[in-house]
Chains A and B, each alone.
Chain A
Amino acid sequence: MELFDILMTASFWAAAVRIASPLIFATMGEIICERAGVLNLGIEGIMVIGAFTGWMAVYSGTGLWGGVAVAMAAGMLFGLLHSVLTVPFGLSQHVVGLGITLLATSSASFAYRLLLPEVTSPPRIVPFQPYEVPMLSEIPLIGPALFAQTPMTYLAFATVAVVALVLYRTPLGLAVRAAGENPSAVASQGLSVTGLRMGAVIVGSGLMAVGGAFLTMSAFSSFFFEMVNGRGWICIALVVFGAWKPGKALLGALLFAAFDALQVRLQQTPLGAQVPYQVFLMIPYVLSILALVLMSRRAEVPAALMVPFNKGER
């Protein structure tokens, strides 16, 4: 009964969409990277960098959208580093990715201490405010969930559409996908595999950073260290869940977020008084693993994912 009550509240659905938003950005970023054949495990750290730089920019007086741009640029910079190491140098994508995550996370701490040596609690900024779309936001349940969110959430949904269109409806997207499937097919048409892959990693990393910036600029209005809290790793799983397709990955992000919103509310029910709260915290992860097992059986992994390409070799 309680479950049904929760599912019928508008605030539950609104929370689910809000929780999904950063995941959507970062998952789209990871899809772009992996479709081009590069696994980007720097995602966790790049989200931290995005969260920090966006927030810091706004705190220093930049506008909110300026903050988003700064976060994106910072993410692209780490994406550039990742892509130089993994694409032309062909280093292990696992090692480079984890290295980028460590570097980005600790760079954020370092910069924080350097820029704000005196503060004991992190300063707050004025975040993006919800924008209620006239008429549409008054639809029961769906209205508050989809049409009374902050502009960044709308941007997240727009990003899914753009990524899907570019991947499936433009020559560029075709070339990116082919680079992740059979780079020699791309090279034999006179296109640069290196250029395509580096570009994909850089743009994808930019989107990851915007996902991180959502946390400070749209959700929490402040920056603290453990705020990304494994969301990057969830996105890696969401890419698999979505079978490397933007639309399916969007559904996966919403599903995970719904479970997350649900467990918070279940904790406040009479049941929550009897069951340790850690069990509720596990719910979204356990259900995600189940969904992953069920959904990803027939997924088609990009054939050249994690395979470096050297022009001279066969």
Chain B
Amino acid sequence: MTAIKTEAQDVLRLTNISKSFGATKANSDINFALKKGEVIALLGENGAGKTTLMNILFGHYTPDTGTVEAFGQMLPPGKPGAALAAGIGMVHQHFTLADNLTVEENILLGTEPLWKLGLGRAAARARIVQLSQDFGLAVHLAAKVGLLSVGERQRVEILKALYRDARVLILDEPTAVLTPQETDALFVTLRKAVALGLSVIFISHKLHEVMAIASRVLVLRHGRLVGEVAVADTDKHALAEMMVGAEVAPPEIAAAQIGAPILSLRAVSVVSQGTKGGLQDIDLQLKSGQITGLAGVSGNGQAALADLLSGLIVPDQGEVEIDGRAIAQWSPRIALSNGIARIPEDRHKTGAIADFTLTENVILESFKSAQFSRRGWMNKAEADRFARHVIDTYDVRCPGPATPIRLLSGGNMQKLILGRALEPGPKVILANQPVRGLDIGAVTYVQSRLIAARDAGAAVLLISEDLDEIMGLSDVIHVISEGRLSPGFARGSKSATELGIWMAGHGFAEDAA
């Protein structure tokens, strides 16, 4: 790590920050400084340690080692109040606003001593109006927050920070929920803020936005700062490569015995809904005995594709085909009954019901089947037997099948979900980020199970933001970018750098021409 030079202009300096959660090193030995009037981007995949680092900076977490300095003053670790007072304002990805209160009330909350008569609304209003003019943050002060669009709510969050005299703004994935127009407006605001002498830390994994707004980019990977470059000296390809890592360590994998296509998409388009991107004219074949890898920076249509294949959304145009026949009706139940198994992206939210037991969770998808129910009564003994079988076969470490699943570690929860998906012998396996957040042992285990399922003849779709994982496991690789799907590249036919070019959105243009 390069030593950070002490400069009078530094508003924020992080020195030797390390933080572990159990065996996982979320941040190791991170150093950087933020100067007055600059925007730095913190770039990295999910799980790279960006949010942990910002939570340390803001005092939500106490670092294991290292110090945070703001305006030359050491910040006491683990005290959000001190960070607030020092002029650090954070705009969280999930807003902390009260919907039934007005914009003005949300901004004023906590800014005045509690035991005081009167809110001083007139003076406050004048100041908020001034701030919103200075920074180009148009909001309607008397409106209830619940009635505002997501973009407007974000403006309220930024105004909240500015009203508290923030000199450093930290924005955690601010564009994840915005439309392109709102993103442009946000960038105008940030440029005004910088012109007025504020400093900004912009957390993102969207390369073109980073290139558009930041002057300097810090790249985090696996908790380490792997690069620090000026935007002027780099381009999207180089950043993509730095972000996902170019080193490849392929696991043991035999040659594929590729069979017939089982689940196919023909010229499928899906209109974008809310924050979920759409899909444009996708052709995809998932073939028996083959792992199909889907590479791409997250938020480029992966979620829509996964929902489409599992029956949660229906195509606006094009056909879904199973065994070469177009499907007239498409729903999760039809997908399940056709042998399509799912490993959902978010195991806590969509993969399991936290307070249900392991037994109940393991039969969530099949509780109606003859195996587990008869004449409307559940066969508890059979369900328990099945749960024990999954626990033994997939090495789920737990006190027993009657344990609520929320008590399990992420890895063990994922193994149970894996068992639930694989045990019926599915024809298609949709694995969306199957190893996200798992430790190395669980990662290897889950991956080897997917390979075994492939060898047994299943068609596997592996969606991941980790290019190493994609390149190591996939027999054929598609890249998704802004809802468009690249042609399939056979194993070993493209380097990480070449895939990175596709991930950055190039290559598609040739097809269109």
Contacts and interface: CB of A to CB of B under 8 A. Distances in A.
Interface of A: 169-172, 174-175, 177-178, 181-182, 184-186, 188-191, 300, 302-303, 314
A174 B108 CA distance: 8
B117 interface: yes
Contact of B109 (A170, A186, A302, A303): A186
A91 to B, nearest CB: 17
B424 interface: no
B404 interface: no
Given A169-B118, A181-B101, A175 B96 contact: no
18 contacts: A170-B116, A171-B112, A172-B116, A174-B105, A174-B109, A177-B98, A178-B98, A181-B101, A182-B97, A184-B96, A185-B106, A186-B109, A186-B110, A188-B80, A189-B110, A190-B80, A190-B81, A300-B100
Nearest to A301: B100
Nearest to A185: B96
B253 to A, nearest CB: 38
Given A178-B101, A185-B96, 4 more contacts: A171-B108, A171-B113, A171-B116, A171-B119
Contact of A190 (B84, B99, B100): B84
Nearest to B104: A174
B80 to A, nearest CB: 7
A300 B101 CA distance: 10
B117 A189 contact: no
Contact of B114 (A172, A177, A182, A303): A172
Contacts of A302: 100
Interface string B70-109: 0000000000110010000000001011111100011011
Contacts of A191: 109-110, 114
Nearest to A188: B96
A185 B110 CA distance: 9
Interface string B387-413: 000000000000000000000000000
A107 B297 CA distance: 65
A170 B105 CA distance: 11
Nearest to A166: B117
Nearest to B106: A185
Interface of B: 80-81, 84, 94, 96-101, 105-106, 108-119
Contacts of A178: 98, 101, 105-106, 109
A83 B98 CA distance: 22
Contact of A181 (B98, B115, B117, B118): B98
Across the A-B interface, give the 4 residue pairs with the lowest CB-CB distance, nearest first: A189-B110, A181-B98, A171-B112, A182-B98
B115 A182 contact: no
Nearest to A176: B114
A189 B109 contact: yes
A175 B109 contact: yes
Contacts of B98: 177-178, 181-182, 185, 303
A190 B80 CA distance: 8
Given A178-B109, A190-B81, A171 B100 contact: no
A302 B119 CA distance: 21
A178 B119 CA distance: 14
B509 to A, nearest CB: 41
A309 to B, nearest CB: 12
A292 B185 CA distance: 44
A190 B99 CA distance: 19
Contact of A170 (B94, B96, B101, B119): B119
Name the residue in B101, B116, B118 with the highest tally of chain A Cβ atoms < 10 Å from its Cβ. B101
Contacts of B115: 172
B157 to A, nearest CB: 10
A303 B105 contact: no
A177 B112 CA distance: 15
Contacts of B110: 171, 175, 186, 189-191
A169 B96 contact: no
Nearest to B120: A171
Nearest to A191: B110
B60 to A, nearest CB: 10
A278 B81 CA distance: 61
Nearest to B121: A169
Contacts of A172: 114-116
A190 B81 CA distance: 6
Contacts of A186: 109-110
A170 B100 contact: no
B484 to A, nearest CB: 34
Given A190-B81, A190-B84, A300-B100, A185 B109 contact: yes
A174 B100 CA distance: 12
A188 B113 CA distance: 15
Contacts of A184: 96
Contacts of A169: 117-119
Nearest to A181: B98
A34 to B, nearest CB: 12
A303 B100 CA distance: 7
Name the residue in B81, B84, B100, B116 with the highest tally of chain A Cβ atoms < 10 Å from its Cβ. B100
Nearest to A177: B101
Contacts of B119: 169-171, 174
A196 to B, nearest CB: 8
B99 A303 contact: yes
Contacts of A177: 98, 101, 105
A186 B110 CA distance: 7
A307 B407 CA distance: 22
A169 B112 CA distance: 12
A186 B160 CA distance: 13
A185 B94 CA distance: 11
A186 B97 CA distance: 9
A303 B114 CA distance: 22
A186 to B, nearest CB: 7
Nearest to A173: B119
Nearest to B97: A185
A170 B106 contact: no
A49 B101 CA distance: 35
Name the residue in B80, B94, B96 with the highest tally of chain A Cβ atoms < 10 Å from its Cβ. B96
A170 B109 CA distance: 10
Contacts of B109: 174-175, 178, 185-186, 189, 191
Nearest to A196: B114
A175 B100 contact: no
Nearest to B95: A185
A302 B99 CA distance: 9
Contacts of B117: 169-170
Contact of A175 (B94, B99, B114): B114
A243 to B, nearest CB: 11
A189 B117 CA distance: 20
Contacts of B114: 171-172, 175, 191
A169 B81 CA distance: 25
Contacts of B112: 171
Contacts of A175: 109-110, 114
Contacts of B96: 182, 184-185, 188
B122 to A, nearest CB: 12
Contacts of A170: 116-119
A303 B96 CA distance: 13
A191 B80 CA distance: 11
